[in-house]
Amino acid sequence: MIRLFQRAATCAALFLATAAQAAPVTYTIVSKLSKVSFSLEHQGFIPVSGTLKIAPGSFVFDHEDWSKSSVMVSMPTRMLDMGDGLWNNQIREDESWMALFKQPEIRFRGTRIERKDGMNGLLHGELTVAGVTRPVVLQMKVNKVGMNRVSERPSVGISASSMIKRSEFGLDAYMDLVGDEIAVQIQLEAAQGPDMDAAKQARMNSGAH
């Protein structure tokens, strides 16, 4: 019982310290929970969708003054997943998409966060796909800032969405079969402290060589 109270007191102290700072805080992306989903029309029949993993990394967020925040995320192109292994291979082997997979990652760099009302706002930034960089604006919502009851770390959850045109990034293959507009949704969970899962995976990978 004493240990339980000690843990609760520690969690409360961490959270209160974070709140009291009222200053930019560095958060580490929880890679296993964070992802990018996208969908586009398939000949007008149905939207087809896929996902991209968000690479380990960190960003700065000030929950009192969003303008002091800075967000940057990257997504390895090798982790693009259309939900079917055969389809994944077909896309990767198709020369029409070579420009996409030639680059190791897709990258978003936030340039400004504009708070609108409550926990909603606009995330302005630059998206780099297939070596082409374009300005984008995402609708953003801060879902929660608080203590994660499992990891016992101060955490933040952010959702953001936007529409982009693949042709603006030079990806204009099969325009008669696959839509140009892509709906993009980012789900980002991050916590103070290191990403323990990513660190564990890195140790496992280094031990395998």
| Residues above pLDDT 70, as percent of the chain | 83
Question: What is 32-86 written as a DSSP string?
Answer: TT-EEEEEEEETTTEEEEEEEEPPS-EEEE-SS-GGG-B-EEEEEGGG-B-S-HH
What is the rounded average pLDDT of the residues 155-167?
98
| Tens-place pLDDT, residues 98-138 | 999 999 999 999 999 999 999 999 999 999 999 999 999 99
Q: How far is residue 184 from each of residues 95, 117, 134, 138, 165, measured CA to CA in Å?
A: 24, 22, 15, 9, 10
What is the rounded average pLDDT of the residues 81-107?
96
Domain assignments of the chain as residue spans, ordered by start: 2-207
Is 155 within 8 Å of 148 (Cβ atoms)? yes
| Residues above pLDDT 90, as percent of the chain | 81
* One-letter amino acid of 56: P
Token couple for 194: 């290191």
Among residues 159, 72, 63, which one has the least CA distance to residue 118? 63
- Give the β-pairing of 132-147 and 35-42: unpaired
Among residues 42, 107, 44, 116, which one has the least CA distance to residue 73? 107
Give the Cα separation of 121 and 154 in Å (integer): 22
Is 27 within 8 Å of 122 (Cβ atoms)? no
Is 105 within 8 Å of 111 (Cβ atoms)? no
pLDDT band at 194 (very low <50, low <70, confident <90, very high): confident
Between the two ends of the chain, the Cα-to-Cα distance in Å is 45
Q: CATH 2.40.128.110: does it fit domain 2-207?
A: yes
| CB-based burial label for 14 (10 Å; 0-12, 13-18, 19+) | middle
Token couple for 121: 């706002």
| Tens-place pLDDT, residues 7-63 | 544 444 444 444 445 689 999 999 999 999 999 999 999 999 999 999 999 999 999
Contacts of 207 (CB under 8 A, 6+ apart): none
When the pLDDT of each residue in the chain is averaged and rounded to a whole number, the result is 89
Q: Quick one: how far is CA 1 from the chain centroid? A: 39
